[in-house]
Structure 1
Amino acid sequence: MNYEEAVTYILNVPKFTKKNPVENIKALMTELNNPQRNTKVIHVAGTNGKGSVCAFIESILNESKKTNGMFTSPHLVKINERFRINGVVISDENFTDAFDQVIKAVDKIIKKGYSHPTFFEFLFAMSMVIFEKENVEFVILETGLGGRLDATNMIENPILTIITTVDLDHTEILGDTIEKIAFEKAGIIKPNVPVIFDGTNLEVNQIIEEVARKNEAKCYKLIDKENYTRIDDTNFWYELLEFNDKNIDFLFKYGYDGCIRVSLGMIGEYQVKNSSLAIKAVQLLEEEKFNERVILEGVKKATWPGRMEMLLPNVYLDGAHNENGIAEFIKTVKHFPNHKKVLLFSAVMEKSYTKMIQEICNELQFDQIVVTLLSNKRAVPLKVLQAEFEARTKSVVYAIDNVKEAFEKTLHLKTEEGIAFCVGSLYLVGEITEIVRRIEHDKF
């Protein structure tokens, strides 16, 4: 198959189908000669922040000249975005070569009685083929959904596991309580492999520490210093110093007296937490001897599309799509109290969009609000979004059923002095990103 045919084939594999038994993905990887066994894998799970943590680690590895591959999801515009080598998205040719290898292996396991891989399993297998071909030293691996039953969890010997912020999301699959979801995320913890995690939620904390204890995995915990009294060499935390529209400066503190002053090139306050998890991760790679300059430069240079990303001057895209993501979005917007603000919002049906809208309206005041309809069969109807906002705010709410026109309206309302925030779904972020890329392409 050529590239377009390969992409079409993969996109026609159901995304949210029932998971196959782990034996299925193991059979596929065996048919591919287990390419995952030849690298140092850093395995990352969590509800929010997984991709950002991966991006920070990737940037630090790049700064230290360590070859690395990164597999993340979802993509915003092009499926190749899920695979990066040393920070660069793979080519169409590399994508097609990996697809050809995997589809041949799929045909063989089906003849042996196994099931066709799910959408995510197919892509995960491709990632391992790609990274083996490029002979990378490190693989930064983001789970797809959950952790315990995720395809990526067939990795038996990662060098580190990381669990980011855990919150209620995909409750129909992972469980309807924070404890149940934390248990699923903690499923990536492996015997005697260090685990780094966001320990600021007590319920989550207890679950992760219990699973780690059973696996004799040493815990390194991001703590809320104000509510924590026992400090030892495994704890780390941060203190915000300065926040502006281009950077965030903070102190990263660890152990009894360790301290680094860090400057982020992103403005999402939640990225302080994510970058702290990444810094602790590379600190544990002792044999690599990452010096402080490498860490600081790597963190400062890191980028992650669609997470409080300034796509145009004073136009920010944030893929917040659940209650915790919206809470973090609200924290960041509150750092801009004196600006005229415009909101562009959309969502998909399986998300808690009513609660998201309620929190936005309770905590923030926007001068104008634009709601739009995503090009997705699971999109929340336009009239529903409009009614939810109008019931909770006095701001003018514009309803536009086309993302491109809605984005243009948002830019018009923003004016030169204002700020626009586009939030509610990664699908919205992807559509806007593609619109801007096309505009930029047409200029040349």
Structure 2
Amino acid sequence: MDHSDAILHRVMGLHPKIIDLSLDRMQRLLADLGDPQDRLPPVVHIAGTNGKGSTLAMIRAGLESQGRRVHAYTSPHLARFHERIRLAGTLIPEPDLADILTEIEKVNEGRPITFFELTTAAAFIAFARTSADYTLLEVGLGGRLDATNVIETPALTIITPVSIDHTQYLGDTLPQIAGEKAGILKRRVPAIIARQPDAALAVIEERARRLSAPLHIAGQDWHSAAERDGMVFQDQDGLLDLPLPNLPGPHQIDNSGTAIAALRALGFGADAALAAVTRADWPARMQRLRRGPLVAIAEAQGCELWLDGGHNAAGGQAIAATLAGLPQRPTHLICGMLNTKDVTGYLRPLGQVSQSLVAVSIPDEANTLPAEQTRDLASSVGLLASTAPDTASAVRRLAQDHPGARLLICGSLYLAGTVLRDNG
């Protein structure tokens, strides 16, 4: 175990008994640390239900193609915590992370703090101490009361598509959830707004009006669409004819548009847009796995092995659309989910494009939905479903029973993380 992992494990004991979304703990801790959030390179702050990570990865690719040094903060991590904090293009080194976490632990003096608040503070300290041109900051949960929402004047804010998720914290209607996401909008700071349901857009527009925040809205101020074998982006500055995004799936056309609109707002042109759609790296988003022991099991029977971490109803729809656009092959799912998710909403669209599902429990995850419950819910939406004790057993059984098939491991970023760790 890395020294930083030991500190993070120890600090978990300070977690408040109930998560009350609040900025009080965060603001107190940051003040005690000298307010590092006020000394960051220009911040691009990204909220939304789906597409935050992909959009951030594309913006980073675009900026770095123009020689810019870019900090990035994302969550959750897949294989290793360090993935969350990228310093001027490279993952934070273990000694630096351990030193910063030790510093925060000492300043916090044993007071209640959440894991995300502590790690966000660590990112701010690291970013403030390392020279860069931009900071890309992904919201963890919601927006209004998220630990990242302490940047007084970002350079730009972005809201990716809003849909129903995390209802226990954010509300169970689109207007309520959109109101939480719109909490990142700041007075007179321009905002890029991805394609939204009308009910969500109305809330975002009203919040922006009160703050005099200029909006650049998908379908109104800019457009992105698939065209022939590529995609086009158009805004008031002209038309860009681009290849399809290297991140697969029709939803990535929309995410690419959001990223390009952001790059244009920051003053970058066609070269940055091209890099955004062709050079983005974002694991576990309809990722074709190419090596490792699980791939060896699958390929021995002529099977493809894919991985995706989407986990809500909109994520299920995006995966189903991606599968429908791939070369035709029978598709079988290996699925593990958290017990906080809308499992039937996620699985229903996947039932239209796959032949069967093998349910697994997520290893070492207290909030995993037991495999038997995932199986029963999959059966309820018409999928032929069974269980397996672990992912490797599921891959082996499906590969033997369905040689030449496409196998997709899906349902949770936590499951995807274990796959990437164990299959490395």
2: CA distance, partners of 1:175 / 1:412:
44
Q: Secondary structure at the match of 1:146?
A: coil
1: CA distance, partners of 2:401 / 2:73:
37
Amino acid at match of 2:288: M
Structure 1, unaligned runs of 5 or more: 224-230, 244-248, 438-444
**Residue matched to 1:433:** 420
Q: Does 1:254 align with 2:242?
A: no
Query: Which of 247, 260, 273 is the equivalent residue of 1:279?
Result: 260
Worse-matched range after superposition: 43-52 or 265-274: 265-274
Q: Does 1:239 align with 2:233?
A: no
Conserved 8 A contact 2:157-2:189: yes
Aligned CA distance change for structure 1 residues 378 and 11 (closer, same or farther; 3 Å): same
**Residue matched to 2:376:** 387
Cα deviation code 1:383-429 (max 9, x no counterpart): 2222233344364x3310223322343444553x4322121111221
Cα deviation code 1:250-306 (max 9, x no counterpart): 1112237433324321212212111211111111112xxx23123312431111111
Aligned CA distance change for structure 1 residues 336 and 401 (closer, same or farther; 3 Å): same
Aligned CA distance change for structure 1 residues 252 and 429 (closer, same or farther; 3 Å): same
Conserved 8 A contact 1:50-1:164: yes
Cα deviation code 1:159-206 (max 9, x no counterpart): 100000101101011001011000000000000000111234111111
Query: Which of 366, 386, 390 is the equivalent residue of 1:402?
Result: 390
**Residue matched to 1:93:** 95
Q: Secondary structure at the match of 1:379?
A: coil
| Mapping for residues 190-269 of structure 1, pairs under 5 Å | 190-223=186-219, 231=220, 235-241=221-227, 249-255=230-236, 257-269=238-250
Conserved 8 A contact 1:404-1:435: no
Give the drift of 1:338: 2.3
Query: Which of 147, 154, 169 is the equivalent residue of 2:150?
Result: 154
**Residue matched to 2:333:** 343
**Residue matched to 1:37:** 38
1: CA distance, partners of 2:235 / 2:95:
44
Q: Secondary structure at the match of 1:409?
A: helix
| Mapping for residues 315-354 of structure 1, pairs under 5 Å | 315-336=305-326, 338-354=328-344
**Residue matched to 1:418:** 405
| Mapping for residues 20-99 of structure 1, pairs under 5 Å | 21-38=22-39, 39-99=41-101
2: CA distance, partners of 1:12 / 1:269:
42
Conserved 8 A contact 1:307-1:317: yes
Q: Secondary structure at the match of 1:385?
A: helix
Give the drift of 1:106: 1.2
Conserved 8 A contact 1:194-1:220: yes
Query: Which of 277, 291, 295 is the equivalent residue of 2:273?
Result: 295
Aligned CA distance change for structure 1 residues 163 and 392 (closer, same or farther; 3 Å): closer
Q: How many residues align?
A: 409
Conserved 8 A contact 1:268-1:307: no
Give the drift of 1:12: 4.4
Aligned CA distance change for structure 1 residues 372 and 160 (closer, same or farther; 3 Å): same
Amino acid at match of 2:418: E
Amino acid at match of 1:241: E
Q: TM-score, normalised by structure 1?
A: 0.86
Give the drift of 1:309: 1.2
1: CA distance, partners of 2:131 / 2:395:
42
Cα deviation code 1:74-103 (max 9, x no counterpart): 011211111112332212112112112212
Q: Secondary structure at the match of 1:238?
A: strand
Conserved 8 A contact 2:44-2:137: yes
**Residue matched to 1:440:** none
Conserved 8 A contact 1:370-1:398: yes
Structure 2, unaligned runs of 5 or more: 296-303
Amino acid at match of 1:280: A
Q: TM-score, normalised by structure 2?
A: 0.90
2: CA distance, partners of 1:259 / 1:335:
23
Cα deviation code 1:197-243 (max 9, x no counterpart): 123411111110100000000000112xxxxxxx5xxx111221356
Amino acid at match of 1:211: R
Q: Secondary structure at the match of 1:264?
A: coil
2: CA distance, partners of 1:98 / 1:380:
35
1: CA distance, partners of 2:16 / 2:282:
23
Give the drift of 1:21: 4.0
**Residue matched to 1:227:** none
Q: Secondary structure at the match of 2:242?
A: strand
Q: Does 1:176 align with 2:172?
A: yes
Aligned CA distance change for structure 1 residues 177 and 217 (closer, same or farther; 3 Å): same
2: CA distance, partners of 1:258 / 1:335:
25
Aligned CA distance change for structure 1 residues 92 and 202 (closer, same or farther; 3 Å): same
2: CA distance, partners of 1:149 / 1:54:
20
Q: Secondary structure at the match of 1:206?
A: helix
**Residue matched to 1:139:** 135
Amino acid at match of 2:344: T
Amino acid at match of 1:74: P
